[in-house]
A and B are shown apart, each in its own frame.
Chain A
Amino acid sequence: MTRSTSRRDILLGAAALAGAATLPRAASADTKGRIVVGTWGGDYARLLNKNIEAPILIKDGWDVVQDQAGDPERRSKMLAEQRLPRGGSDVQGLSALNMFQMNDAGVVLPIDYGKLKNAGNLLPAMKYPYGVGQIYSGKVGVYNPKIITTAPVSYKDVFDPKHGNKLGIIDIQYQYTMVCAALAAGGKVNDLEPGKKLLMECKKAGMRIYPTNEAFAQGLKSEEFGTGVMWKARVVQWQNAGIPVSAVAPTEGALAYISGFVVPKNAPNKDGAYAYLDAMLEKSAQEAFAVDMGYNPTVANATVAPDLNQRIGFTPEEVKKLVDLDYDYMNKYDVEFKEWWDKELKS
């Protein structure tokens, strides 16, 4: 008797547990569906939620879940999941170079722009066959006027060995730094050899290498060094934080940084993925990102206040001169560039 009662109790308990486990699914059945978003963490993830997910998608009945991690981890995950019929995410936030890389690896879906009602507003340069640009900025020359009294106007002025240990670069930005140095040395985006030579000269003169963007900002603030290159959006954030730094768009053309989203081929909810892409191109979301993060909108109908635009934006001439990476070249030689950076430049 005891045994049968016990068994009933167990069965009852198990049924209750199973029932409880289905509750979230039952709740999600009331929504349009779940969208899993692969993204970096920190401020960016918070702003995605604040400006895109909460006011547009969740309000519209979607259930949005963020899968936060660094992009190397998320790219590895996409590659590791490529054989699975259902992947772990519906959209992935990546830089333009990484979007190209993932497309090259054959793991992302070609974008059907016909499914995006906001596609008509998207700037042509932000419309990749395999991904959609969400925000952009450019690599500008930065300097502390107290230390560098003659304002640089070009990458050539920044990467000048005469600065000695007053020139600083960032370790994690090796790709963009090498391309900027190549442009400074008269090279091209698909020929970094002159840039390598110039960087070695700067190194001999005492150039400082900082591990992260934050350490670079700290060095600028403490006046350890006075000039370098950085995304204009980040410079605005530093200025807001009281770091004495000015920015100049280089005469060679600022190297563009574009961040966007791709849809993995095995995304479980492709309709949700397109809803996300459309929401991120909404005028309100694009304008909010310009205000909150200092990055430029990628849609033509977004309005940025003139004073803000002066700080984060580029003039029409500067926009025309924006330089994009040679994605194929960078992707092909990335490991070699990193090895050179680690073994030669940092040794």
Chain B
Amino acid sequence: MTATTTFHADERPSSLLSASALVGPATAFVTLGLLAPMAILLRYSFNRFDPRRMMIETFSLDNYVKFFADPYYTGVLWTTLRVAALCTVACLIMGLPLAYVLARTQSRYKNVMIMLVVLPLFVGNAVRAAGWMTLFGTKGFLNVTLIQLGIIAAPMEMMFTEGAVVAGIIAVNLPYMVLTLQSVIEGINRNVEEAAFSLGAGPATMFRRVLLPLSLPGILAGTILTFILGMNAYATPVLLGGPKFKMMGPLVYGQFQLNNWPFGASAAFILMTATLGLTAAANILIQRRFRR
């Protein structure tokens, strides 16, 4: 009986629930599920493609050289960076006022409004893109409406354009930006805004000198999140960009479809390095800028 209530020194609950035990399962999961496959993929990126054997084990930088020496592939990387940056800026500009209103509203419908922001996330990317297709098509809602209103005479080519992809990605990423910003702005005491106003600051000055610096952690988190999602977009560029528009996600997948794992792996690592490098650089630059 006593055995159930007496603990030996090495069986104290505190030691069993030590920090290492708490982080252990997650660490093991990430190591096994993410780092190990990435290490294998990194090794593959140095191999050589062979149509018969899929790849030949070697250690060469040829795949990376091929990527950076070919204007087609570097062009795809630049397109990806441009689209991701554009979507991130657009999400920030559109998301900040919306997040501010959501954070400050006293309305009893606040929860409903938050649900409305999250609502697009209930629909999968592919389904959402299909919705955009019915909107952007030659005989889609937009073209038909504009023609019937007499604004345009012939249908506009909206599908399979960069504009369609940007609109599609913004629709996917905007809720992430809004929710991140809203939670941070909610944590900023309303009194500091009132103090700025009482000291003579206008709304623009208050925003620039008080709200912006205080909401910087949220801006950084939201920006990083939407930029990463934009860089790795797959379904939206494929469905709305069409065959001629290429971003890195579809490019990587296309190489694996061709069984060219070594080049696909190297393209994947270039994408990942560019995403991580730019995210870290932007983080450091913004923090330095606002620390002054």
**Neighbour of A211 across the interface among B4, B138, B238, B259, CB < 8 A:** B238
Interface centre among A75, A171, A342, A346 (most CB of B within 10 A): A342
Closest to B50 in A: A105
Give the interface size class of chain A: 20 to 34
Chain B residues whose CB sits within 8 angstroms of the CB of A343 once the complex forms? 72
Tell me if B54 counts as interface (CB < 8 A to partner A).
yes
In the complex the two chains form, is A346's CB within 8 Å of B51's CB? no
Tell me if B246 counts as interface (CB < 8 A to partner A).
yes
Tell me if B13 counts as interface (CB < 8 A to partner A).
no
In the complex the two chains form, is B139's CB within 8 Å of A335's CB? no
Chain B residues whose CB sits within 8 angstroms of the CB of A72 once the complex forms? 256-259
Tell me if A222 counts as interface (CB < 8 A to partner B).
yes
In the complex the two chains form, is A105's CB within 8 Å of B52's CB? yes
Closest to A338 in B: B258
Contact with B along A36-73 (1 / 0, CB 8 A): 00000000000000000000000000000000001010
In the complex the two chains form, is B243's CB within 8 Å of A347's CB? no
**Complex Cα distance A346/B243, Å?**
7
Tell me if A31 counts as interface (CB < 8 A to partner B).
no
**Neighbour of B242 across the interface among A3, A211, A334, CB < 8 A:** A211
Tell me if B260 counts as interface (CB < 8 A to partner A).
yes
Tell me if B137 counts as interface (CB < 8 A to partner A).
yes
Tell me if A22 counts as interface (CB < 8 A to partner B).
no
Contact with A along B53-86 (1 / 0, CB 8 A): 1100000000000000000100000000000000
Chain A residues whose CB sits within 8 angstroms of the CB of B139 once the complex forms? 222
Tell me if B100 counts as interface (CB < 8 A to partner A).
no
Residues 233-248 of A at the B interface (beta carbon under 8 Å) = none
In the complex the two chains form, is B52's CB within 8 Å of A104's CB? yes
Tell me if A25 counts as interface (CB < 8 A to partner B).
no
Closest to A218 in B: B137
Interface of B is mostly: loop
- Known contacts A3-B3, A76-B259, A335-B49, A209 near B72 by CB under 8 Å: no
Chain A residues whose CB sits within 8 angstroms of the CB of B53 once the complex forms? 105
**Complex Cα distance A155/B185, Å?**
63
Residues 71-118 of B at the A interface (beta carbon under 8 Å) = 72
In the complex the two chains form, is B258's CB within 8 Å of A334's CB? yes
Chain B residues whose CB sits within 8 angstroms of the CB of A209 once the complex forms? 242-244
Contact with B along A16-33 (1 / 0, CB 8 A): 000000000000000000
Closest to A2 in B: B4
Tell me if B39 counts as interface (CB < 8 A to partner A).
no
Chain A residues whose CB sits within 8 angstroms of the CB of B51 once the complex forms? 101, 104, 331-332, 334-335
In the complex the two chains form, is B259's CB within 8 Å of A75's CB? yes
In the complex the two chains form, is B258's CB within 8 Å of A105's CB? no
Closest to A211 in B: B243
In the complex the two chains form, is A76's CB within 8 Å of B238's CB? no
**Complex Cα distance A211/B236, Å?**
13
In the complex the two chains form, is B244's CB within 8 Å of A346's CB? yes
Q: How far is the CB of B193 from chain A (nearest CB, A)?
A: 49
In the complex the two chains form, is A1's CB within 8 Å of B258's CB? no
Chain B residues whose CB sits within 8 angstroms of the CB of A76 once the complex forms? 54, 256, 259, 261
Tell me if B1 counts as interface (CB < 8 A to partner A).
yes
Closest to A215 in B: B242
Chain A residues whose CB sits within 8 angstroms of the CB of B243 once the complex forms? 171, 209-211, 346
Given A171-B243, A346-B244, 18 further pairs, Cβ under 8 A: A2-B3, A2-B4, A3-B3, A72-B259, A76-B54, A76-B259, A104-B51, A210-B242, A211-B238, A211-B239, A211-B243, A224-B138, A331-B51, A332-B51, A334-B51, A335-B51, A335-B260, A342-B246
List residues of chain B with CB under 8 Å of any chain A CB.
1, 3-4, 49, 51-54, 72, 137-139, 238-239, 242-244, 246, 254, 256-261
A-B contact pairs, 7 of them (CB 8 A): A209-B244, A210-B243, A211-B243, A222-B138, A224-B138, A338-B254, A347-B244
The 4 closest A-B pairs by CB, nearest first: A171-B243, A72-B257, A209-B243, A2-B4
